[in-house]
Amino acid sequence: MPNNSNYRDSSPLSQISSTAGAVKGAIKAGKTISGATKGAALGPYGMIAGGLWENRKLIGKILAAAAFLFLLPVLYIMMLPTLIFGNDGLDAAPGDVLNNTTVIAQNIAETEAAISDILMDVHNEVLSDIQKDVDNLGDDCDYSISDPFADRIIYESSLVISQFCASENDYQEISLSKLKKILKKNAKKLFSYSVSTSTYEKTDEKTKKKVTITHYTYTVHYAGSEYFADTVFALSANQKATALEYAANLHLFLYDMVYQVKVNHSLVPGQTGLDAVELALTKLGTPYSQELRDQEGYFDCSSFTYWVYTQLGIALQADGVNTAAAQGRYIVQNGLAISVDNLAPGDLIFYSFETNNRYMNISHVAIYAGDGNVIDASSTSLEVVHRPIYNTDRIMLCGRPYSNQ
C-alpha cells in the first residue's frame, strides 16, 4: 500500500507493504519475478509467508538488506490488494491466510457479492426513475426499455478491489465495510439513462382514424471502470497506476480463484476441433482489421475464432458479446477450460498482453492447429496466419469449445 508516516501500527506487515510500494518501480510490481514465482505464491514459500504473518510484530526488528532478496516472493504477495486477505481488516485476518486459498477465495466471493448487490441497487434506482417518467406519458405514447444490465452487471471485481485498496493510504482502513460505504455514497450515478423518440401511425380501433403515436425508447447506460477510478474512489494518477499493478498481479496469481476456472478433464478431442482447423486454414491471408471486423473479408482475432465456430454451430459469446475476453468468459462459464498441456487441434488459446480491465485481462485469442502451431488473425502480420505457438508465458486460459465424451 502507499506509504503513510501516520500509521497507527508500525508492524512489519505495514513495513513490508511500504517496502513493496517503494521497490515496485524497480521490479515493476512483481512482473520481473512473476515468471519465476507464478504458481508458487501459495506453495513452496507458503511457510515463509505464514511465519512472516504470525511473527509480524517481531520480524521488523530483524529485516535487513541481506534478507531482502530472500523475501521478494513475500513482497510480491504484499503487492496484491490486501482486501483479499481479510474483509474485516488485515490485522484481523487469520495467521495462515497467505497460505490458505480457501480463505482468500471466500473473501473475494464475499466482496464480489457485496459489490454486485450495491451495483444492482443503483441500477434499480434508475429503473424506478424511468418508471416515474413512463407514468407521466400521455395516451398517445408508448415506450420500451433497453437494459443490458437487467439480469447481470458485468464488472471487473479485481479492478474495483484494487482501486479501493489503492485509494487508502492506511492499510488498517481497508475493509469490506468501508468499501461498501464508499460505493453506496459515490456510485449513485454509475447508471443513467437516455431517452429517444420516434413516431408511427396506427388506426384507432374505436374511431377507425389514424393517430400518431410517439414511441419513447429508454436506454440504460453504465459508466464503466473509469467512473470507479475518477468518481467513486477519486484516484490520483499515481493511485490509478498502483491499482492497475494490483489488478495485474491479482490476475497473474489468483485468476483461478477469482474466476473459478476449473479444468474439465472429461473433455476429449474430436472431429469438431479438426473441422475448426480445416475451416481456419481456408482463411489464411484474410486482412486483419478491428474497425472492419464485422464486414466480410476482414477479421480481428476474436471475429475470426467466432466465425470459425459459428460455421460449426457454436456461438462463442457471453452476454451477447464475442470479443476475445467474452469468448474466454464463455469457456469458463460453460466448463470448457482445459490445461495447456492437453491442447488438441481446434482448441482456443487466450492471451493477456496488457491490463485492459476485461475478463482475465484477455487481449488475444488463437486456434491451436496441432504440432505446436496456431492459426490466428494477427495484428502484427495484419492477416490471418499459421505460425508456431508463441508467448507461452502470456497464456491465461485454454478451452475446448465443444464436448465429445
3-class secondary structure per residue, the chain: CCCCCCCCCCCHHHHHHHHHHHHHHHHHHHHHHHHHHCCCCCCCCHHHHHHHHHCCCCHHHCCCHHHHHHHHHHHHHCCCCHHHHCCCCHHHCCCCHHHCHHHHHHHHHHHHHHHHHHHHHHHHHHHHHHHHHHHCCCCCEEEEEECCCCCCCCCCHHHHHHHHHHHCCCHHHCCHHHHHHHHHHHCCCCEEEEEEEEEEEEECCCCCCEEEEEEEEEEEEECCHHHHHHHHCCCCHHHHHHHHHHHHHHHHHHHHHHCCCCCCCCCCCCHHHHHHHHHHHCCCCCEECCCCCCCCCCECHHHHHHHHHHHCCCCCCECCECCHHHHHHHHHHCCCEECHHHCCCCCEEEECCCCCCCHHHCCEEEEEEECCEEEEEECCCCEEEEEECCCHHHEEEEECCCCCC
Looking only at Cα atoms, what is the longest distance across the chain?
93
In the chain, CATH 3.90.1720.10 sits at: 271-399
Sheet holding 141-146, edge to edge: 141-146, 210-222, 191-203
Q: Which CATH class is domain 271-399?
A: alpha beta
Q: What is the pLDDT of residue 336?
A: 95
CB 348 within 8 A of CB 305: yes
Instruction: Report the distance separating Cα 191 and Cα 126, nearest Å.
Output: 7
Query: Per-residue pLDDT for the chain (405 aa), expressed as one digit of tens each?
Result: 333 333 333 333 333 333 333 333 322 223 333 333 333 333 323 333 444 444 444 444 444 433 444 444 455 455 678 888 888 887 788 777 766 777 887 888 789 889 989 999 999 999 999 999 999 999 899 999 988 777 667 677 778 999 999 999 887 889 999 999 999 999 999 999 999 999 999 888 888 889 899 999 999 998 877 899 999 999 999 999 888 888 877 766 655 555 667 889 999 999 999 999 999 999 999 999 988 988 899 999 999 999 999 999 999 988 788 999 999 999 998 999 998 889 999 999 999 877 676 788 789 999 999 999 999 999 888 999 999 998 887 788 999 999 865
**Cβ atoms of 399 and 336 closer than 8 Å:** yes
| Residue 352 · residue 363 · CB < 8 Å | yes
CA distance 271 to 292: 31
Return all residues near 350 (Cβ < 8 A) that are at least 6 apart: 324, 327, 328, 331, 360, 362, 364, 365, 395, 396, 397, 398, 399
**Residues with Cβ within 8 Å of residue 49, at least 6 apart in sequence:** 73, 74, 77, 98, 99
